[in-house]
Amino acid sequence: MTFDLTRRLCAEALGTFFLVMAVVGSGIMAAKLAGGNEALALLCNMVSVGAVLFVIITIFISISGAHFNPAVSLAMLLRGALPAGEALPYVIVQILGGCLGAIVAHVMFGLEPVQLAQTARTGGGQWLGEFIATFGLVATIIGCVRFNPAAIPTAVGLYISSAYWFTSSTSFANPAVTIGRAITDTYAGIAPAHVPAFLAAQLLGAAVAVIVFGWLLKPGSDTQEN
């Protein structure tokens, strides 16, 4: 079944809305309940985000492809799986949905709806972390699309959950989420001045993953000499 562009854009907006709301909302709740234990707060945030990824991908994948991420949309554009005329609308609604998710999370917890984050997240190590996080995310999706599409919700949820802990940046891996996190001065925030470098690392990681896995998963031709 093929859905029209309006429904696909709505699915992308809703999915990204719930994703960022989960990131920000669970971060606020975790910071309140963890009593200053940073590891516990990160664990709580990770569980919520990994779980919601599984759910929203399961719900929306048959409608829009369940990108919820401009880096994934870029990857699908480069692979020819997303028409060029639809890529920009996808990215726009993802960013809008993500920002709205942050705002609604604030309202739920009685905070100012729009804030500017103060949390510094910068430096070569964090940029490399975002490159690796996004490279791995796109690799996960491409590999599952090729060999086991039904595993995408589980694989993506598990990958991001794991990358929370093995990347220095705690695995934003998503430009829309990064922009949404710039307007929350809470546990999940990132200072707006540090956003551009994160976006560059994420988009580069996605593009490199498309190149590497485009080659890796392309059937080769064996030459046999008699």
pLDDT in tens, 126-135: 999 999 999 9
pLDDT of residue 224: 47
Neighbours of 181 (CB within 10 A): 29
Calpha distance 190→192 (Å, rounded)? 6
Q: Which domains does the chain have, with CATH numbers?
A: 5-215 (1.20.1080.10)
CB 174 within 8 A of CB 102: no
pLDDT tens digit string along 46-82? 999 999 999 999 999 999 999 999 999 999 999 999 9
DSSP string over 54-103: HHHHHHHHHHH----SHHHHHHHHHTTSS-HHHHHHHHHHHHHHHHHHHH
Instruction: DSSP letter for 220, please.
Output: P
Longest dimension (CA), the chain: 76
Mean pLDDT value of segment 90-119? 98
% pLDDT > 90, the chain: 95
